[in-house]
Amino acid sequence: MRKIADEAESVEGIVNIVDDLTDAGLDTFESAARRYGGDPKARAFLTNDGSVYLRRSSGKDILVDFAHEMTHRIDHKEGAGIFKKIGSDWYSKSLDVLDEKQLFRSEFRAYRVGNIVANHIDGSPRFATRKELFDHILSIYTNARNPY
């Protein structure tokens, strides 16, 4: 969590908390998602240039989503471990170069950190067991494969 806080502080303007729907002249979650080629129905997303978009309507879950996306940002930026293939070029490549195992590991790490945050907020993690978490990832990312 310290790492996430430091990262968020070190780069100004990377976190955008926006309204869900189109509002004349203002950036919204859905317009931003379309602009970046993301899924307008997603809870949150990380852009190719490293910005995090969160929905204002997420309420307390916004912290969980923030922790999830920041974990991706830090992992990709550091090019560590499973992300070696991406290295410093992650901004322009991102998920495109992750194979099915890397994608699973990437999401596993992000959901795990989010789960820890959720547990801290009100003692109710989103996933009670590792299996629940695995199943969730595999249901959302059809191109992921459980490497464990």
Residues that bind Zn ion (CB under 5 A): 107, 110
CB of 42 to Zn ion, least distance (A): 9
> Whose Cβ is closer to Zn ion: residue 30's or residue 73's?
73
CB of 114 to Zn ion, least distance (A): 9
> Whose Cβ is closer to Zn ion: residue 28's or residue 106's?
106
* Identity at 106, one-letter amino acid code: S
> Whose Cβ is closer to Zn ion: residue 4's or residue 22's?
4
> Whose Cβ is closer to Zn ion: residue 61's or residue 107's?
107
Query: Which among 46, 52, 55 is positioned nearest to 21, based on CA atoms?
Result: 55
User: What token pair was written down for 119?
Assistant: 């547990």
What is the DSSP secondary structure assignment for residue 37, as one 8-state letter? T
CB of 124 to Zn ion, least distance (A): 20
> How far is residue 30's CA from residue 22's CA, in Å, rounded to a whole number?
7
Helix (H, G, I), strand (E, B) or coil at 110: helix
Going through 10-127 in order, the beta strands assigned E by DSSP cover 15-18, 44-46, 52-55
CB of 26 to Zn ion, least distance (A): 25
CB of 72 to Zn ion, least distance (A): 5
- Label residue 2 exposed, middle or buried (CB < 10 Å: 0-12, 13-18, 19+): exposed
> Whose Cβ is closer to Zn ion: residue 26's or residue 142's?
142
Count the neighbouring beta carbons within 10 Å of the beta carbon of residue 60: 10
